[in-house]
Amino acid sequence: MKPLKIAMLSLTHGHTRKYFQTLKDNPKLQWLAACADSEEIKQHFNSVNPDVPCYLDEQEMLDRHPDIEAVIIASANNEHLRQTQFCVERGLHILSMKIPTFDMDEYDQMIDMVDRAGLVCQIELEMHYNPVVHRIKKLIADGELGCILSMQATNITLSPVWAFPWQGVPEQSYGSRIPLREGDGRFRGGALCDHPHIFDLARWLTGTGFDYLYADVAPNLRTELEVEDMLLVNGKMKDGSSFLLDPSWSRLEERLKIPGPGWEVFPKRMEVNLIISGEKGVLMADCFGPNVYHNGAPNDRYTVQYTYFDEWIGLIDEFVDCVRNNKQPKINLKWHRQTIEAMNACYDSISSNAPVKIN
Amino acid sequence: METTHARQDLNEMLESLLHKYGVTPSQKWQLLLELRKAGDGLALLSGQLLMDTDLADSYVPLMPWRNERRFTELKQIVETQTIEHVSTLRLCCLTDSQSSTIEQLLYREFDLCEWLAGSTITGVFASITEGRAANVLARLANGMLCGIELGVALPAGSTVIDRHELIARRGVASDRVVDTQMPQSSIYTFTANGQAEYTDTDAELFGLSGEEITIVRAAYDTLADPAWAEQCRKQHSRLVAMAKLAIESDNKQQWLTVKEEQS
């Protein structure tokens, strides 16, 4: 198979650096170029990827590399519509970060333009390529748990806002400045916007959609933020199973500008854990465990050192396969739409203090 | 409640504790491990067993979990401001359907929520499936938010799996080790007889199970401080009402406020 010629845009998303190794190593790819959002980001990129040309202008990048076939849009959420349009007009396939947009009109525009152009647009939800999730899916499919009664899931992390400031700016993260609720000084755009995975898993693992959601926010751990950092989500799926989701930034962090060792204040920086109760039993899972531990450099603090899995490899493999063989990725814009709708419903529920139905 | 000792043994152990510390109860008493008609004097038993009963004056509903060492420490961590400005409580309790009902788990976790938070629940939203799994959000008067995950879908005879985590602006406190999913034990043995685990937390009551220790300790506290019995009765009424409120919330699919008479 001919390697797919690929580029990255913006480089401001928290997941940007997770692609670097895969883009270099995967023989199905040829990483031609990148385009940075600022000179500062370009300099950092050049320091870790000296062999990949980096530009500050998207059009210049394409002019210099007209054979680019696909791009990874690694930018702030409010850039996604414009960049999707930019790519579609140039016939470029798209691997988009996890939130295409929270504006459902914009979302439908994106579906329409990608469909019309006949391009692949895959959404980056890496949990679909996680081996623990594969095992969970198989155990459920094999009937080990029977019908699912309930699912509890965490997608809790430290806050990335100090390294990726746009994630704390309502207009850039949520797309507009909307108060969480009357009398609350915070706005939509925080931890919830960072954590779609467990909403997606609830749909994928149960094989059904959301019926209704109820969400509430707790006092922020980081009082400086104008977006929410602590919230919980309750509700039921269409099959009657109940759920409780925690998509909070509940793990405190050192306020590093560039993520790296010593980021954690709490020993464990991230967790996606599931408890699924079924008619025949209960499953408990840590999607990123087990790990190793140290209390060494840089802060001599007890730290959970992740033994990362290979989600990014599977994700890229699928993307290349879809482009080359004209297939639709599992996580395409249409599939992902209800997840975004459910996340919006959480904000509406916080605002109204009432459950919100999903149609 | 699972026990390894006869009721008589536990009553004798409680008696010896009272004697050791010079506590002379003002009236007759009896520690019960199951609901039955009370004889003369006070009948001391877990409030979870009295949820469906009109509370006669002779019954004292106990909240024995408050005597678990881990919960005592968690409460102290909050009260001494070892962690500061608690934002969120994340509570979880999974059992089999023989040892508990969802209503009983709601009773226990609502009490732990209020006791650890040092505040009262003002409203709840619950989603419950077939009386075997429940997920609840509770809002407290001091602004904290609490998520409660409950289930009775473990196989019969399973050990309780639970977690109590308090997340604050300064620090996190939990009864579970970081990066683990299951409760730990003090001792693990691997012998010709197979594997076994032991967790002993009370030398004075050595040999009792964790649940037996806490019920004896809770009964002792009540007998040592008669005023506490009245507090227990009031809290029991609140907890029963809040468990019913959670079920009503699920039925109505509504956020429901705890009424004034309940708080």
Cβ–Cβ of A216/B145 closer than 8 Å? yes
Secondary structure E strands in B155-198: 161-170, 172-174, 187-191, 194-198
> How far is C-alpha B154 from the geometric centre of its chain's CA atoms?
19
Q: Are residues A36 and A144 in the same domain?
A: no
CATH code at position A111: 3.40.50.720
The whole-angstrom separation of Cα B188 and Cα B172 is 27
Q: Are residues A164 and A266 in the same domain?
A: yes
Q: How many residues does chain B have?
A: 263
A188 lies in some domain? yes
Q: What is the pLDDT of residue B262?
A: 57
A88 lies in some domain? yes
Per the structure, how many domains does chain A have?
2
- Give contacts of B145 with chain A, Cβ < 8 Å: 216-219, 230-232
- Give contacts of B90 with chain A, Cβ < 8 Å: 246
Q: Are residues A119 and A259 in the same domain?
A: no
Q: Tell me which of A136, A159, A216, A292 to substitute to probe the interface with B (most B C-beta atoms closer than 10 Å).
A: A216
Q: What is the pLDDT of residue A293?
A: 92
Q: Are residues A133 and A123 in the same domain?
A: no
- Residue A351's contacts (CB-CB under 8 Å, 6 or more residues apart) are A179, A180, A181, A182
Cα separations (Å) of A240 from A345, B21, B128, B240? 18, 53, 9, 25
Q: Are residues A158 and A253 in the same domain?
A: yes
Q: What angle do CA A107, A111, A113 make, to 5 degrees?
A: 115
A190 lies in some domain? yes
Q: What is the pLDDT of residue B166?
A: 97
Q: Are residues A49 and A144 in the same domain?
A: no
ipTM of the complex in this document: 0.88
pLDDT classification of B57: cutoffs 50, 70, 90: confident
> Which of A149, A230, A273 is closest, CB to CB, to B181?
A273
CB pairs under 8 A between A and B: 139
Q: What is the pLDDT of residue B109?
A: 98
**Residue A61's domain spans which residues?**
4-127+315-322
Q: Are residues A96 and A156 in the same domain?
A: no
Q: Are residues A53 and A93 in the same domain?
A: yes
Q: What is the pLDDT of residue B3?
A: 45
Average pLDDT over residues A127-136: 94
Q: What is the pLDDT of residue A295?
A: 93
> Which of A234, A282, A302 is closest, CB to CB, to B135?
A234
A234 three-class SS: strand
Average pLDDT over residues B223-238: 94
Q: Are residues A108 and A34 in the same domain?
A: yes
pLDDT classification of B37: cutoffs 50, 70, 90: confident
Write out residues 192-231 of A within 8 Å (CB-CB) of B: 212, 214, 216-223, 230-231
Cβ–Cβ of A275/B147 closer than 8 Å? no
Identity at A86, one-letter amino acid code: F
Q: What is the pLDDT of residue A310?
A: 80
Q: What is the pLDDT of residue B102?
A: 98
Average pLDDT over residues B2-16: 77
Tokens of A257: 């500008």
Q: What tens digit of pLDDT does each residue of A32-85 get?
A: 999 999 999 999 999 999 999 999 999 999 999 999 999 999 999 999 999 999
> Which of A219, A289, A355 is closest, CB to CB, to B143?
A219
Q: Are residues A39 and A134 in the same domain?
A: no
Question: In the predicted model, is pLDDT for residue A349 greater than 60?
Answer: yes
- Residue A241's contacts (CB-CB under 8 Å, 6 or more residues apart) are A147, A148, A149, A150, A151, A206, A208, B129, B133
- Residue A192's contacts (CB-CB under 8 Å, 6 or more residues apart) are A215, A228, A231, A247, A343, A346, A347
pLDDT classification of A3: cutoffs 50, 70, 90: very high
A332 lies in some domain? no
* CB A110 within 8 Å of CB A101: yes
CATH code at position A143: 3.30.360.10
Q: Are residues A121 and A134 in the same domain?
A: no
What burial letters (b/e) apply to A244-272, b meaning 16+ CB within 10 Å?
Answer: bbbbbbbbbbeeeeebeeebbbbbbbebb
* CB A344 within 8 Å of CB A204: no
Q: Are residues A59 and A204 in the same domain?
A: no
Least confident of A161-170, A346-355, B179-188: B179-188
Q: What is the pLDDT of residue A66?
A: 97
Q: Report all structural domains of chain B as residue ranges with CATH numbers, in order of start.
A: 86-197+237-262 (3.30.360.10)
Identity at A12, one-letter amino acid code: T
Average pLDDT over residues A315-340: 96
Question: In the predicted model, is pLDDT for residue B263 greater than 90?
Answer: no
